[in-house]
Structure 1
């Protein structure tokens, strides 16, 4: 299979780390949604990443759908509970982390790609980012296990780890490890894993 997208995207990185934790071999096409939009459109009309090309020609889009497919392949070894309260709790953490990434990406675009920025929109994004970080901090601080739901990493850990890396790279003015110590420790634990270390690309802000 082929994973399309650059690793500086927290969504692409999340999928790539899951592929490695699942020991699934893949080819990587580091296409940019800006510079390679025309090539990307051949496979994904939204021109978004991640996009996953399966060996039989099927194309999967959106990180959640891609991870659902990988979980289905993994069966009992999936990186999330199959059902029940723990699955719902993990999906909530994933939803908060991916929503956090959405707001961080929106903030990047607003500040760097618009000639005239909206102070109201910037303030709203920053407020949402801070509130989500507070919620994730409170949740993680209650967990006594090395990872969110046990002794090994799952989708919640990957999603939050990727979000924290993107926060540090894209928004250093917001990144404040001392304000969210449980998340900072969690991010450090994730980044120490070989799967995380193998999938790293510094974020370079796009130009106008």
Structure 2
């Protein structure tokens, strides 16, 4: 049953993996919220008011109190609504989940960006190598159906970029990282993740995302 503890608004954009993290967490918890689509080329006064530091999405507003940054928002959601816990209950396991979540954002995503959007061959190859090394750590860490065990947890939600966005970027940019041969556990995990009912209904349209990334790749290529 859906919960509603006061007024909850989420400011986001359609294709953002960081916004989708928050949406998936709220849906897993059964929390009702109002979604506000932003235009990042013409940011609303409310977005600038609620996130004056970074001026970006996602922003979660709960009873008039705003929070920015997806990892911060996920922890807040987990602590505020106790059902379907996202972080492990044991302190050490919780700390590890936070560590791997930061690892994904601080190591994996920048390396993948370098591999995807660099037209210089040397830099692109360096990005692919760095991405593969980072992803290998996650492959080694994955010991169950999900990072959270048998149920989707905090790290799974954060790693959702690898399951859905990365294959689209690979297709748009013409390279392959997450192959079933090289990363069999992560490949199987990604299929389980994107086919989970809650995740599946909260992913952006793939073709629209692919068109966006193809246009971005073409623009970068044309500028060189």
TM-score range, shorter chain: 0.7 to 0.9
Whole-Å Cα distance in 2 between the matches of residues 125 and 181 of structure 1?
21
CA RMSD of aligned residues (A): 2.5
Instruction: Identify the residue that residue 57 of structure 1 maps to in structure 2.
Output: 64
The structural deviation recorded for 1:43 is: 2.9
1:13-32, Cα deviation, whole Å (9 max, x unpaired): 11110110011111122324
Q: Determine whether 1:149 maps to 2:155.
A: no
The structural deviation recorded for 1:123 is: 4.2
Instruction: Identify the residue that residue 199 of structure 1 maps to in structure 2.
Output: 202
Instruction: Identify the residue that residue 160 of structure 2 maps to in structure 1.
Output: 161
The structural deviation recorded for 1:119 is: 5.4
1:124-170, Cα deviation, whole Å (9 max, x unpaired): 43332221111111221xx1x32223221101112223332111112
Whole-Å Cα distance in 2 between the matches of residues 66 and 162 of structure 1?
17
User: How many residues are aligned here?
Assistant: 197
Q: Determine whether 1:185 maps to 2:188.
A: yes
Whole-Å Cα distance in 2 between the matches of residues 130 and 193 of structure 1?
26
Instruction: Identify the residue that residue 114 of structure 1 maps to in structure 2.
Output: none
- Which protein has greater RCO, CA pairs closer than 8 Å, 6+ apart? 1
Is the contact between residue 167 and residue 174 of structure 1 (CA under 8 Å) also seen in structure 2?
no
Whole-Å Cα distance in 2 between the matches of residues 178 and 28 of structure 1?
39
**Structure with greater Cα Rg:** 2
Whole-Å Cα distance in 1 between the matches of residues 120 and 48 of structure 2?
30
Structure 1 residues 156 and 183: alpha-carbon distance in aligned structure 2, compared to 1, 3 A threshold: same
Whole-Å Cα distance in 2 between the matches of residues 138 and 32 of structure 1?
39
Whole-Å Cα distance in 2 between the matches of residues 120 and 14 of structure 1?
33
Whole-Å Cα distance in 2 between the matches of residues 156 and 130 of structure 1?
18
The structural deviation recorded for 1:58 is: 1.3
Map 1:27-176 to 2 at 5 A. 27-33=34-40, 35-39=41-45, 40-45=47-52, 46-54=54-62, 56-75=63-82, 77-99=84-106, 100-105=108-113, 110-111=117-118, 121-140=123-142, 143=143, 145-172=144-171, 173-175=175-177, 176=179
Whole-Å Cα distance in 2 between the matches of residues 52 and 107 of structure 1?
31
Gap regions ≥5 residues in structure 2: 1-7, 220-224
Structure 1 residues 149 and 65: alpha-carbon distance in aligned structure 2, compared to 1, 3 A threshold: closer
Structure 1 residues 5 and 121: alpha-carbon distance in aligned structure 2, compared to 1, 3 A threshold: farther
